[in-house]
Amino acid sequence: MGWPGRGKSNGNNAAMVRQTDQTFDNMAKLVITIDGPAGVGKSTVAKGLACRLGFAFLDTGAMYRAVTLAAMRKKADLNSPERLVAILSECDFRFTPADGGTQVSIDGVDVTEDIRLPEVTANVRHIASVAGLRAQLVQMQRNFASTQPGIVTEGRDQGTVAFPDAGFKFFLTADPAQRARRRCDELTAKGVDADYARVHEDIEQRDLSDRSRSAGPLTPAQDAVTIDATSISAEDAVAEMLSYIEGES
């Protein structure tokens, strides 16, 4: 599995980088985790924060989505944990930083768009519930982090399971109705007809599935700072995180 490189700083964060570099002296590297439910805007916020800090950005949801797509294309039995674990070694998964996000490829074929297809979203819960597969993905996430001086990683279990000793942990939350409205706006902007009731129900189903699995469930780490993004923008959420990090450093 290949990994994204470091994020590019936007040049407005000299003080923060200096401060963080001092932290590196003590900690060798800095991991910042952002967990939260579907549709809350974690990727946008995590990318924004990584960019401001000049850190690497890791979209762990893309990993689960890529394994799901590979399993679907191989017509694997999605109810067979052993079969799903095997998919990891059967395919070459690559995650590369690209404009505004992460480019994902499977066996050399770009699947960045395909991993966002509704049928992949609907099936990803099968992959996400296999403890053995999660353990391998978590190990890959840790391996990647160990190669970076600083990383912002987002998902469901980053502060609880993958990086329990992370320097800073955030839990981003928002009202399901607001998340559904944002998702509908995104779909409409892409020219896709969006049915609000259906999107809302889908968000609630994903919340249930994320919170109720026994391996790596969605739950805030005890030491996470919760940010409610219901009525603030992604930029405001990044600013809140930065001011918290600055205050603590």
Q: Which residues of the chain form contacts with ligand DC (CB under 6 A)?
A: 38, 60-61, 64-65, 124, 128, 155-158, 206, 210, 216
Nearer to ligand DC, 25 or 113 (CB): 113
Task: State the minimum distance, in angstroms, from the CB of residue 18 to ligand DC.
Answer: 31
What is d(CA 4, CA 171) in angstroms, rounded to the nearest whole number? 23
Q: Which positions ≥6 away from 23 have C-beta within 8 Å?
A: 30, 167, 249
**Identity of the residue, 20 or 151, whose beta carbon is nearer to ligand DC in the bound complex:** 151
With contact defined as beta carbons under 8 Å apart, do 28 and 5 qualify? no
* CB of 54 or CB of 91, closer to ligand DC: 91
CB of 133 to ligand DC, least distance (A): 10
Closer residue to ligand DC in complex, CB, 61/167:
61
**Residue type at position 158:** Q
* Radius of gyration for the alpha carbons in the chain, expressed in angstroms and rounded: 18
Least CB distance to ligand DC at residue 29 (A): 19
Question: Distance of CA 45 to CAs 85, 139, 191, Å?
Answer: 30, 24, 24
For residue 161, the minimal CB distance to ligand DC (Å) is: 8
Rounded Cα distance between 44 and 63, Å, is 17
Q: How far is the CB of 219 from ligand DC (least distance, A)?
A: 12
Give how far the C-alpha of residue 107 lies from the chain's centroid of Cα atoms, to the nearest Å: 22
**Which residue's CB is nearer to ligand DC, number 47 or number 156?**
156
**Rounded to an integer, what distance in angstroms lies between the CA atom of residue 58 and that of residue 154?**
6
Closer to ligand DC at the Cβ: 44 or 148? Answer: 44
Phi, psi at residue 172, to the nearest 5°? Answer: -95, 125
DSSP-assigned beta bridge partners for residue 36: none
Q: Shortest approach of ligand DC to residue 175 CB, angstroms?
A: 17
- Residue 150's beta-bridge partner residues? 30
